[in-house]
Amino acid sequence: MTKGLTKINLVALTFGFAFLYIPILILVFFSFNESRLVNVWGGFSLKWYGELFRNDDLLGAAWVSLILAAATSTLSVVLGTVAGFVMARFTSFRGRTLFSGMIYAPLVMPEVITGLSLLLLFVSIDWGRGLGTMIIAHTSFCMSYVAVVVQSRLVSFDRSIEEAAQDLGATPFKTFFVITLPVIAPALVSGWLLSFTLSLDNVVITSFTSGPGWDTLPVKIFSAVKLGVKPEINALSTIMILIVAVGVVVASLIQKRAMVERQRAERLAAAANE
Amino acid sequence: MNTATAARVPFEPWKDPQAKPYIRIVNVTKTFGDFVAVDNLSIDIYQREFFSLLGPSGCGKTTLLRMLAGFERPTSGRIELDGVDMSTVPPYERPVNMMFQSYALFPHMTVEENIAFGLRQDRVPKDERNARVEEMLGLVQLSKFAKRKPHQLSGGQRQRVALARSLVKKPKMLLLDEPLGALDKKLREQTQFELMNIQEQVGITFVIVTHDQEEAMTVSSRIAVMNHGRIAQVATPTEIYEFPNSRYVAEFIGDVNVFEGRLSEAAADHVRIAPVGGGGEIYVDRGTSAAQGATVWAAIRPEKIDVALTPPTDPSVNCIEGTVWDIGYLGNLTIYHVRLADGRKMTAAVANRTRLREQPITWDDTVYLTWAPDSAVVLVS
Ligand SMILES: Nc1ncnc2c1ncn2[C@@H]1O[C@H](COP(=O)(O)OP(=O)(O)O)[C@@H](O)[C@H]1O
Ligand SMILES: [Mg+2]
């Protein structure tokens, strides 16, 4: 099935990719710009990268973002797994519809409203805003994503392996930790990564719930570009793109290798059987 | 196979009034909402039996097995194992193991780890654990595959891992839910014999669920034929085949010709049946519980019927005349479908002992179907 590209397909493909990637390429291109003006090429230079690493303000914000994202995604995986488990396994209890509605609501709720309501909550209980409040705020929407991922994984989960574990003497509690969790681990990992990226680039909810001195990177960038785009920001964005790209490529390589190995093993098993 | 088979004393504890049942299922009912999956069912199973639950899909076999394993609670009734009431014992505390229909191997563990899992739960010391796992791997001939993950095994190998895993704890009873259902026919037949040998070696009581009557006939000490959550008959394979107690059992196990008729003579040692469709009376040299004049059914297995082109010389033998309607040549057997005068059809299976008959029977020939007085069974339901 080596059907070549028709002209129309080719044009559509080109436009599609151009639309997606030209802005990013321009950003990367100008991060190596000698000139201070972002839209005038002044020759190749790495000086903005140098500037960036001397900018304690931005580096501090990057650090806050990473800590926040790591804490949020870890907490979200724990809570989201519990919620997803309840949704997948307890299909008929009083208030289930309400419960599942409440799990899904943060996915569709406008961020402004989530942020504002959390702000009101923290103010009314007089909780000083800082890293803690940001983690709570981010977890409140990230755990919904994890819950959805875990629930859909559990729906296709073969329950007989849990029964087999119990049959062999493991209590239901132990079965969950030695059988269920390891088997759904990939879903937890992808839930964690999803939460991490969602937390890492959130601006709206963060601005409502962060306290002084706890600005995250996206918030910093967002307020910085209001005063005009600095080439340093381009350099920073380029680094982030690089990190994400490397992560994606490595993840897909690992997956592909696992698949190839598995196929090889299955071929071996089939051959051994003949 | 082995020479011990011939010298073996018959294993028939159910005939011994002194023998104590090992597993007692007493008036067990299981309902799901309004639906009765298992209906007031009682069975006694003896130690070292290879007991089959046989019945069509949906008749409640798996539900009964899951109650034995502890995954379902009986709605009423009780289950005793070795004199202990199991009703409230959770699955992880029952001295019972189950081999699942889907095998249910742990995908993230190697073959070895899968088999060791049960022993780990009991905190069996490492040395003993390793020794027992190795012994099991040897028993199912998978020593070479100890380090593989389940997805690196073929269907037959997975099945043996599942068997080893459920045997390693030496349970008092092993439950097997359609253990060979996922294997192809040839492998299945071979595995049936392996399963019987293994059961004999380990000496554990096996309770197996199957919907395959040939499988049940091959492996079982006794078979319980189930119908809509009830027991239709519990007996040895031979008894089930030769002396079914109802039309349901007769028709479920193998092929059978059934004639409805009226009991025209009911003596203690023989009966005569006048078929509803007319024709000669059928003579059976066994008594029955039904009274004279009652409606009964005569069941005759196709292989007990002889087909001839000439009428029998002895007029007292059971004989029906008909015309050959269809012939199926199966190699070892030839199946004749014969149409009788009143339009009913009968099936006869004749072994092909010689290459070619001197005078072959072909389509539309008039033939005489004969069978011995002890070949038919009288059924009252
Ligand atoms: N958990 C359950 N809830 C409702 N109905 C069930 C459940 N388990 C089994 N059944 C019903 O009980 C009947 C018997 O099922 P099962 O024991 O699996 O039959 P078999 O193994 O003989 O094919 C089926 O009609 C099935 O739909
Ligand atoms: Mg079943």
Is the shortest distance between the CB of B210 and ligand 1 below 6 Å?
A: no
- Length of chain A in terms of residues written: 274
Question: Per-residue pLDDT tens for B195-217?
Answer: 898 888 888 999 999 988 888 99
A158 touches chain B (CB under 8 A): yes
H/E stretch holding A54: helix A47-54
Encode pLDDT of B299-348 as tens digits.
899 999 888 888 888 777 888 888 889 888 888 888 899 998 888 888 99
Pocket test for ligand 1, best of B28, B30, B32, B34 (most atoms within 8 A of CB): B32
pLDDT of residue B220: 92
Q: Which residues in chain A touch residue B169, judged by CB atoms under 8 angstroms apart? A: 168-169
Name the residue with tokens 């304690």: A56
CA distance A234 to B318: 102
CA–CA dist B44, B249 (Å, integer): 20
Using pLDDT thresholds of 50, 70 and 90, give the confidence band for residue B3.
very low
Confidence category of residue B113, pLDDT binned at 50, 70, 90: very high
Closest CA to B48 of B10, B22, B85: B22
Q: Which two tokens stand for residue A139?
A: 């977890």
Report CA(B31)–ligand 1 centroid distance (Å).
Answer: 10
Q: What is the value of ipTM here, to two decimals? A: 0.82
Structural domains in chain A plus CATH codes: 55-229 (1.10.3720.10)
The alpha carbon of residue A97 is apart from the nearest alpha carbon of chain B, in Å, by 22
Does the beta carbon of A262 lie under 8 angstroms from any beta carbon of chain B?
yes
In SS3 terms, chain B reads as CCCHHHHCCCCCHHHCCCCCCCEEEEEEEEEECCEEEEEEEEEEECCCCEEEEECCCCCCHHHHHHHHHCCCCCCEEEEEECCEECCCCCHHHCCEEEECCCCCCCCCCCHHHHHHHHHHHCCCCHHHHHHHHHHHHHHCCCHHHCCCCHHHCCHHHHHHHHHHHHHCCCCCEEEEECCCCCCCHHHHHHHHHHHHHHHHHHCCEEEEEECCHHHHHHHCCEEEEEECCEEEEEECHHHHHHCCCCHHHHHHCCCCEEEEEEEEEECCCCEEEEECCCCCCEEECCCCCCCCCCEEEEEECHHHCEEECCCCCCCCCEEEEEEEEEEEECCCEEEEEEEECCCCEEEEEEECCCCCCCCCCCCCCEEEEEECCCCCEEECC
Nearest chain A alpha carbon to B116: A168
- How much is the pTM? 0.80
Q: How far is the CA of B42 from the CAs of A33, A213, B274, B355, in angstroms?
A: 87, 75, 36, 50
Euclidean distance between CA atoms A220 and A201, whole angstroms: 11
Contact assignment for A168 to B97 by CB distance below 8 Å: yes
CA of A220 from ligand 2 middle (Å) equals 61
CA of residue B234 to ligand 2 center, whole Å? 19
Q: What is the pLDDT of residues B6-64, one digit of tens each?
A: 556 778 888 888 888 999 999 999 999 999 999 999 999 999 999 999 999 999 999 99
**Per-residue pLDDT tens over the stretch B275-302:** 887 777 888 888 788 778 888 888 899 9
Say whether B255-379 and B13-95+171-247 share the same fold.
no
Q: What is the pLDDT of residue B253?
A: 87
At residue A3, the pLDDT reads 64
Strand pairing class (B366-371; B76-81)? unpaired
Beta bridge partners, B174, equal B97, B206
Instruction: Examine the pLDDT at B88 and tell me if it is beyond 80.
Output: yes
Residue B321, burial from CB neighbour count under 10 angstroms (0-12, 13-18, 19+): middle
User: For domain B255-379, which CATH number applies: 2.40.50.140, 2.60.40.10, 1.20.1050.10, 3.40.50.410?
Assistant: 2.40.50.140
How much is the pLDDT for B1? 43
Q: From the first residue on, what is the mean pLDDT of each consecutive set of 10 residues in chain A (274 residues)?
A: 73 88 85 80 84 84 89 94 89 83 86 91 88 91 90 87 94 94 85 84 88 85 80 83 77 72 70 54
Is the pLDDT assigned to residue B5 strictly greater than 70?
no
Quote the CA–CA distance of B218 and B1 in Å, as a whole number.
Answer: 15
Q: In chain B, where are the structural domains located?
A: 13-95+171-247, 255-379
What pLDDT, on a 0 to 100 scale, did the predictor assign at position B264?
82
Which residues in B lie closer than 8 A to residue A269 (C-beta atoms)? 148, 152-154, 157
List the CATH code of the domain at B13-95+171-247: 3.40.50.300
Q: What is the mean pLDDT of residues B119-129?
A: 94
> Which residue in chain A is spatially nearest to B153 when comparing CA positions?
A269
pLDDT (0 to 100) of residue B331: 82
Write out the two tokens for A267. 């071929």
Closest C-alpha to ligand 1, atom 3? B32
Q: What is the dihedral of CA B370, B373, B374, B380, to 10 degrees?
A: 100
pLDDT at B255 over 90: no
pLDDT at B106: 94
